[in-house]
Amino acid sequence: MSERSLRVGIDVGGTNTDAVVLDAADRVVAKAKRPTTPEVTAGLRAALDAALDAVIDVVIDAAPARSGHVTRVMLGTTHATNAILERRNLGRVAVLRLGAPATTSVPPLSDWPADLRKAVSAGEAVVPGGHYVDGREIGPLDPGAIRRFLDGVEADAVAVTSVFSPANAEHERAVEELVGREYGLPVSLSHEIGSLGLLERENATVLNAALYGVAAHVTEALVTALNERGLDATPYLAQNDGTLMTLEHAARLPVSTIGSGPANSLRGAAFLSGVGDAIVADVGGTSTDLGVLAGGFPRESAAAVEIGGVLTNFRMPDILAIALGGGSVVRGHGVGPDSVGYRIAEEALVFGGATATMTDAAVAAGRTPPDAAGWAGRLASGPDRSEGLLDMLQRAVAVADGMVADAVDRMALGRADRPLVAVGGGAFLLPPEITGVSRVVRPGHAEVANAVGAAIALASGRVDTILPAGESRSKAIERAKEEAAGRAVAAGADPGRVEIVDLVEVPLSYLSEPAVRVHVKAAGPLAR
């Protein structure tokens, strides 16, 4: 094996934290699954250690495995999501909208849950500025108004949202320069985060600013874990679209990590199965996430995405989550929605526990994973194994199969010609045939598909803007492509291998001058 040829992918899930090690030929040479811990970081370190120990046993001697051979470590994490959902470790944000007087009727954060607003907002203001949809200036910036607002608040960061900034970001950049020069605070700019839709883009921008401290904690924990283990490896974080970004890029756009878990699973499913267009079902201990692969990448949601009770419009994978997992509790009236989660190895019947779970139901139906030696025997021979219990488990399987079929129908959008790729530690729960798909594919290493997705991911950049539809359209689109490619390079991509992987134009009506909304995405392998 050549020197410096291994990379590690880690994904933090609600029940387990998974880690895999891939070699230069993209083969999985080691994998590990450890319970996710309440503070997340301990589980991350445990999974990393277990995967590295497996590499030592399988591939090379101890010293190189913990130093020169590992070149990159990719992490998909729930830190940002948990911080928002639990309202903890969030920074105080000065919320600044450039759009007075046109947008004052709906103040910033009006639709936020009261507890989240209280935790995040250091104050809100709407001041003059912004642009029309065609890029013309609504009115000049008022630096005095901006200073008066910022002088009166105590904040950890500033979130700036200007009207139609995806079409013209000049005012946002001017405010960023003013704040950096005079106040020394980090600034979150809306045109870098969301697309058209003022309130949703503003919400995402404020959440991004509130997560700066969380991002610093995650990156510090990851770097520390690598240093403690003597790994001279470049770290990356996974983001919402199944691609990667450098720690420096993540520090500026931490909100981009929120959907990384489902996106990693989809990308890992595509890689392991070799299927680029499919429905993917990622079955965990608590829930099953269903998504759609299009050309090997996650299909993105066309609707506003709600996070912690707040509507946002940044790009997220189109995911349908159902309360069905290996730890889902089975009762006489149905399945779940509660789950024993990471305690499944202690509480499920097949492990000698006293709680009937979907894992037990699957084993009773003859659906047993290959490494489950003795499960069926323990289920049959344990105490209190009445006929009524076995009947209840059989009924639970029928209920679960119906839940999956209904979810597939909702995601398929009328197409029944695609396969379903089953991944995740609970993939054995799924039946061999599912209505609405052509076949069920069960790839090798499916139980760690999410970590594999992190390990094989590309780096990407995107631009969502409005351009004139006249003769200058072609040149403007080329500039948008260059900007998207530049953002991909900033995220860690090799400049010589970046490609445009998505280009969408949507004509806009009712404007004084013809215009089109353009979305460009560039992606490429990580720089060496």
Query: Rounded to an integer, what distance in angstroms lies between the CA atom of residue 409 and that of residue 467?
Result: 37
Query: Rounded to an integer, what distance in angstroms lies between the CA atom of residue 86 and that of residue 227?
Result: 30
Q: What's the DSSP call for residue 526?
A: B
pTM (two decimals): 0.78
- What are the tens digits of pLDDT across the range 222-235? 888 888 888 888 88
Mean pLDDT, all residues of the chain: 83
CATH tag for 91-210 (out of 3.40.50, 1.20.140, 3.30.1380, 3.30.559): 3.40.50
- What are the tens digits of pLDDT across the range 105-141? 999 999 999 999 999 999 999 999 988 876 778 889 9
What is the model's pLDDT at position 377?
A: 64
Least confident of 48-62, 119-133, 273-287: 48-62
Burial of 58 (0-12, 13-18, 19+ CB in 10 A): exposed
Question: What confidence category does residue 62 fall into, taking pLDDT thresholds of 50, 70 and 90?
Answer: very low
Question: What confidence category does residue 373 fall into, taking pLDDT thresholds of 50, 70 and 90?
Answer: low
What is the model's pLDDT at position 172?
A: 94
| 518 has pLDDT over 50 | yes
Residue ranges of the domains in the chain? 1-87+215-258, 91-210, 321-448, 458-524
**Are 470 and 24 in contact, with CB atoms under 8 Å apart?**
no
Query: Rounded to an integer, what distance in angstroms lies between the CA atom of residue 285 and that of residue 454?
Result: 20
Question: Which residues are CB-contacts of 360 (< 8 A; sequence separation ≥ 6)?
Answer: 330, 348, 349, 350, 379, 393
- What are the tens digits of pLDDT across the range 165-219? 887 889 999 999 999 999 999 999 998 887 778 899 999 999 999 999 988 888 8
Superfamily the domain 1-87+215-258 falls into: ATPase, nucleotide binding domain (3.30.420.40)
Q: Are strands 16-22 and 6-12 parallel, antiparallel or unpaired?
A: antiparallel
| 87 has pLDDT over 60 | yes
As a whole-number percent, the residues of the chain with pLDDT over 70 amount to 90
**Are 449 and 474 in contact, with CB atoms under 8 Å apart?**
no
Query: Rounded to an integer, what distance in angstroms lies between the CA atom of residue 104 and that of residue 106?
Result: 5
What is the model's pLDDT at position 380?
A: 63
Query: Rounded to an integer, what distance in angstroms lies between the CA atom of residue 121 and that of residue 20?
Result: 39
**Which residue matches tokens 């597939």?**
408
Question: What confidence category does residue 387 fall into, taking pLDDT thresholds of 50, 70 and 90?
Answer: low
What is the model's pLDDT at position 528?
A: 66
Q: Please spell the DSSP secondary structure of 365-384, one letter per residue.
A: TT---TT-TTHHHHHHHSTT
1-87+215-258 against 91-210: fold identical = no
Does residue 470 come out as left (phi exceeding 0), alpha (psi in the -120 to 50 range) or beta?
Answer: beta
Three-class secondary structure of residue 165 per DSSP: coil
What is the model's pLDDT at position 210?
A: 95
- What are the tens digits of pLDDT across the range 149-158? 999 999 999 9
Query: Rounded to an integer, what distance in angstroms lies between the CA atom of residue 357 and that of residue 354?
Result: 9
**Are 194 and 312 in contact, with CB atoms under 8 Å apart?**
yes
